[in-house]
């Protein structure tokens, strides 16, 4: 973390920084201007030594909050912005990556023989700069001789993978994580992705040079693909990306995530010969010509049109052998027995005014992020980004952001920095001032975010703040039906879980002056909010007892959950939920 945050914050002159973005005029001891957060003709935006406040829309905060909201920065980015403006050096911030020391020793004869037994010639080893050295290896727990797969990016050595006997591997610590052989696809319109360096060498041996390998294989569960984040620009402009991952469950899992991130409209997959598990296996058993044939016959990912049993055979067999796919639970008590979450689905959350539906969604998404490494993008209309970030931080840490009643309720400095790190790791926000916030505009931007960062979840909160462009001649019901269909198609196409917070129509209070629990059919606009969603949740809070009841009112797929309800105590001082 940055150790001199306080110094940087104290250097922030609100007038000097905000005036870069808003035209300000002196007024007494303050400055005023037109608010950048809403349209106005008379200036109601006031800047003082302490920060800013708009008396028109109510938005307020310090310089950091302004930069976070106006420039769509996270907390650390805002700190760096101020530091750069005031020429303050960032202290104790680690350099992002360390360059490895080149290993230049030529391969020993026994190593060359090992590759020859895998069908790979010394000429290929030389062309891909395979070297050797003595390294400490984790499995051996000592220094041993290791083969060095040298990772280059833009012609510079950025990482090394060391491989010793008995499949003992390690990458260079603190170095950049990139695809192996990434420079080979720079000027190509087609790229092949394999699952290991030896598979990459196998295709290279066959004369297929536009091939890269993932650096750390495949795994089960959520895959972060950090190496794709650092190499995204290499795949821009590619017409065809052939996914040649291993012929097993984890290889297919990696293939699914790569296709989701890279765009299934340009991804192709291969058919393996009987009894072959990877590209090197094919080279040894069938020769170079078979690798060319497999590449030439790669099939486009089924996106549109007819899906045949050939496309779904592996999936159907997996359902039969292992059961229907399980969802991801949030780890928040009894609610997990009611509902789990998976990609390609849409969940609508409603509730009467001030019942805490947005608060509960924050609770859900931070739990999914922490438990399953899901990244989220939030389209948050009612909460300024800076404020919403503090609410997410509270859910991560379990304490309040600001002092309320007792100092023990508030996160300490160490917890605060941890909360910043977690929120920065898992959450990004759409800048609603810069993005087209129509249905199609939001879908287009989120599709781009999925490809670039690999988000697994999206929150739109609330529905009624979207810029609804109802076509001429459409009824509101028709428009909502079509819009929800477009959003559902986006969720399926990009394999994300979409949460939509939707307000109900005005409900009538009972004879005790209380609102009844809202149902999915109470949502303003259309019954399609119930019909078209996969899951429906209603949040209801009793302000006298503090009890929050969460009703799961719809679950489309029985293997992912069931209807029912569960109850929580809501602590207003820490804004936390505790299951009753």
- pLDDT tens, position by position, 470-512: 888 888 888 999 999 999 999 999 999 999 999 998 888 877 7
Q: CB neighbours of 190 closer than 8 A, spacing ≥ 6?
A: 210, 238, 239, 240, 241, 242
Q: Would you state the pLDDT for residue 143?
A: 93
Output b/e per residue, 173-193; b: 16+ Cβ within 10 A. eebbbbbbbbbbbeebebbbb
Determine the Cα–Cα distance for residues 6 and 11; give it in Å rounded to an integer: 9
Residue 137, phi then psi, degrees to nearest 5:
-125, 140
pLDDT at 419 over 80: yes
Q: Cα–Cα–Cα angle for 250, 255, 256, nearest 5°?
A: 100
Of the two residues 510 and 176, the one the predictor is more confident about is 176
- Residues 205 and 121: beta-carbon distance below 8 Å: yes
Output b/e per residue, 315-340; b: 16+ Cβ within 10 A. eeeeeeeeeeeebbbbebeebbebbb
- Provide the token pair at 80: 């760096």
> Confidence class of residue 230 from pLDDT cuts 50, 70 and 90?
confident
- Provide the token pair at 533: 């969603």
If one counts every other C-beta atom within 10 angstroms of the C-beta of residue 412, the result is 12
Q: What is the pLDDT of residues 299-324, one digit of tens each?
A: 988 755 566 776 677 778 877 888 88
Q: CB neighbours of 231 closer than 8 A, spacing ≥ 6?
A: 153, 178, 179, 182
Name the residue ranges covered by the structural domains of the chain. Answer: 5-85, 98-176, 178-323, 340-579
If one counts every other C-beta atom within 10 angstroms of the C-beta of residue 11, the result is 17
**DSSP H/E element including 539:** strand 535-541
Determine the Cα–Cα distance for residues 203 and 293; give it in Å rounded to an integer: 12
- Provide the token pair at 138: 């984790």
Q: Would you state the pLDDT for residue 131?
A: 97
> Confidence class of residue 567 from pLDDT cuts 50, 70 and 90?
very high
User: Of 3.10.20.30, 3.90.480.20, 1.10.760.10, 3.40.1360.10, which CATH number belongs to 178-323?
Assistant: 3.40.1360.10
Rg (CA), the chain: 27
**398-406, Cβ contacts within 8 angstroms, sequence gap of 24 or more:** 398/574, 398/576, 399/574, 399/576, 400/573, 400/574, 400/575, 404/572, 404/573, 404/574, 405/573, 406/573
**DSSP H/E element including 120:** none
- Residues 14 and 51: beta-carbon distance below 8 Å: yes
Q: Would you state the pLDDT for residue 304?
A: 52
If one counts every other C-beta atom within 10 angstroms of the C-beta of residue 558, the result is 8
* Crossing angle (nearest 10°) for helices 249-262 and 226-235: 50
Q: Cα–Cα–Cα angle for 299, 301, 303, nearest 5°?
A: 140
Q: CB neighbours of 401 closer than 8 A, spacing ≥ 6?
A: 390, 391, 393, 394, 410, 411
Averaged pLDDT, 514-526: 86
* Crossing angle (nearest 10°) for helices 413-426 and 357-372: 80
- Residues 59 and 69: beta-carbon distance below 8 Å: yes
Mean pLDDT over each residue of the chain, to the nearest integer: 90
Q: Would you state the pLDDT for residue 10?
A: 85
Give the architecture-level CATH label for domain 5-85: Alpha-Beta Complex (3.90)
Pairing verdict, β 142-153 and 156-164: antiparallel
Determine the Cα–Cα distance for residues 542 and 176; give it in Å rounded to an integer: 51
Q: Give the CATH fold of the 340-579 domain.
A: Rossmann fold (3.40.50)
Facing residues of 149 across strands? 161
Q: CB neighbours of 92 closer than 8 A, spacing ≥ 6?
A: 1, 2, 3, 4
pLDDT at 535 over 80: yes
Q: Would you state the pLDDT for residue 241?
A: 97
CA terminus-to-terminus distance, the chain? 37
Residue 44, phi then psi, degrees to nearest 5:
-125, 5
> Confidence class of residue 212 from pLDDT cuts 50, 70 and 90?
very high
* Residue 302: half-sphere exposure toward Cβ, Cα within 13 Å: 9
Q: What is the pLDDT of residues 102-127, one digit of tens each?
A: 999 999 999 999 999 999 999 999 99
Q: Cα–Cα–Cα angle for 534, 536, 541, nearest 5°?
A: 165
- The percentage of the chain sitting over the pLDDT mark of 90, rounded to a whole number, equals 59
- Provide the token pair at 286: 């069938």
């Amino acid at each position: 973390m940055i150790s001199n945050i306080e110094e940087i914050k104290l250097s922030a002159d609100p007038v000097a920084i905000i005036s870069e973005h808003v035209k300000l005029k002196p007024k007494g001891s303050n400055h005023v201007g037109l608010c950048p957060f809403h349209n106005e003709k008379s200036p109601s935006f006031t800047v003082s030594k302490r920060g800013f406040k708009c008396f028109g829309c109510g938005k307020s905060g310090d310089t950091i909050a302004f930069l976070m909201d106006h420039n769509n920065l996270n907390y650390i980015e805002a700190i760096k912005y101020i530091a750069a403006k005031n020429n303050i050096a960032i202290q104790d911030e680690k350099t992002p990556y360390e360059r490895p020391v080149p290993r230049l020793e030529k391969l020993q004869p026994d190593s060359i023989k090992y590759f020859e037994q895998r069908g790979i010639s010394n000429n290929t080893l030389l062309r891909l700069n395979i070297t050797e050295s003595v390294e400490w290896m984790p499995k051996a727990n000592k220094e041993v001789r290791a083969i060095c797969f040298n990772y280059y990016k833009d012609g510079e050595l950025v990482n090394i993978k060391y491989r010793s006997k008995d499949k003992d591997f390690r990458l260079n610590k603190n170095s950049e994580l990139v695809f192996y052989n990434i420079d080979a696809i720079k000027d190509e319109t087609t790229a092949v992705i394999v699952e290991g360096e030896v598979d990459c060498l196998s295709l290279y041996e066959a004369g297929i040079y536009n091939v890269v390998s993932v650096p750390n294989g495949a795994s089960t569960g959520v895959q972060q693909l950090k190496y794709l984040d650092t190499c995204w620009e290499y795949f821009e402009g590619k017409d065809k990306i052939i996914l040649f991952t291993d012929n097993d469950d984890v290889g297919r899992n990696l293939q699914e995530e790569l296709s989701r991130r890279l765009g299934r409209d340009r991804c192709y997959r291969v058919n393996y010969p009987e009894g072959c598990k990877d590209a090197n296996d094919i080279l040894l058993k069938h020769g170079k010509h078979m690798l060319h044939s497999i590449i030439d016959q790669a099939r486009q990912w089924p996106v549109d049109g007819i899906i045949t049993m050939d496309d779904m055979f592996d999936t159907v067999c997996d359902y039969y052998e292992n059961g229907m796919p399980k969802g991801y639970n949030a780890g928040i008590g009894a609610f997990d027995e009611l509902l789990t979450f998976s990609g390609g689905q849409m969940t609508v959350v409603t509730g009467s005014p001030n019942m805490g539906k947005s608060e509960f969604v924050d609770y859900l998404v931070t739990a999914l992020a922490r438990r399953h490494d899901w990244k989220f993008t939030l389209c948050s209309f009612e909460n300024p980004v800076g404020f919403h970030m503090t609410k997410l931080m509270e859910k991560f840490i379990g304490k309040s952001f600001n002092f309320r009643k007792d100092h023990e309720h508030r996160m300490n400095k160490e917890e605060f920095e941890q909360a910043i790190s977690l929120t920065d790791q898992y959450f990004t926000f759409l800048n609603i001032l810069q993005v087209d916030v129509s249905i199609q505009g939001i879908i287009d931007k989120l599709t781009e975010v999925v490809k670039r960062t690999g988000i697994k979840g999206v929150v739109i909160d609330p529905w009624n703040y979207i810029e609804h462009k109802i076509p001429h001649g459409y009824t509101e019901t028709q428009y909502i039906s079509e819009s929800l269909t477009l959003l559902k198609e986006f969720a399926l196409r990009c394999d994300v879980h979409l949460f939509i917070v939707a307000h109900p129509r005005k409900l009538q209070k009972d004879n005790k002056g209380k609102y009844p629990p809202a149902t999915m059919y109470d949502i303003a606009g259309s019954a399609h909010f119930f019909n078209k969603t996969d899951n429906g949740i209603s949040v209801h809070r009793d302000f006298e007892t503090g009890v929050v009841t969460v009703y799961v009112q719809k679950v489309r797929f029985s293997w992912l959950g069931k209807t029912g309800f569960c109850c929580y105590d809501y602590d207003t001082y820490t804004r936390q939920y505790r299951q009753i």
